[in-house]
Structure 1
C-alpha cells in the first residue's frame, strides 16, 4: 500500500472518530498531513522514531482525551494492517497534531 493511501485511511479514521471536516487551508491540517506522511513511511519501512516524548503520555491522555483516543484508533489500524508497533512516542505526536486541528476547528466555529 502506498503512503498516500495510508494517509487517506488515517484521515478517514480521524474524520469519523472526531466527527469533523478538515479545513484544508489551515496550517494545522498541513502539519498533520506532513506528520502522517512521515508516520506512514516509518510504518512501511518498520523504522522507529529516534527521540523521546513518551514521558508526556500521561498528560496527553488526561488533557487531550479525544485526540488521544483517536490516536489509539490509528494505532490499532496500523498495527493490524502493517504489523508495525506504534510506540507511545508516536501516540504523543499523533495526539498533539490531532489536538491542534481540533483547537483550530473549535476557534473557527
Structure 2
C-alpha cells in the first residue's frame, strides 16, 4: 500500500528520534514508519512483528564479527515489498525508534483504560 511522502492531517505522531518517526493514521488505522526519508505503512500486528524482527537482530555478533556477512542485516517488513539493508548503527537506531513507539502506544492504551488521555 503506497503512502504519501509527507504526513497528512490524519497522521498523529507517536514517537520521534533524530533518525525517524512513527505516526498513527486515524483514517486507515495504520502505523506509518518514517525511516530513511521513506514511509512504510503497517497494521498493528505487522508493526509488532517487524519490531520483534528488528529486536532479534544480533547486534553483538554484528559488532564483534569481522566476517563480511555480518556487515549488514537485510529485513523485509511483513506484507511489504520494501526491504531494509541496515548497518549496525542503523539497526540500533531503528530498534530505538520502534521500541519507543511501542512504549508510547502501550502508555496511551493504559491511560485510556484509566479514563485519561495524552491530548
**Bin of the TM-score, shorter chain as denominator length:** 0.3 to 0.5
Which structure's residues are more often strand, by fraction? 2
Which structure's residues are more often helix, by fraction? 1
Between Structure 1 and Structure 2, whose CA radius of gyration is higher?
2
Larger RCO, structure (CA 8 Å, separation 6 or more): 1
TM-score, structure 1 as length reference: 0.37
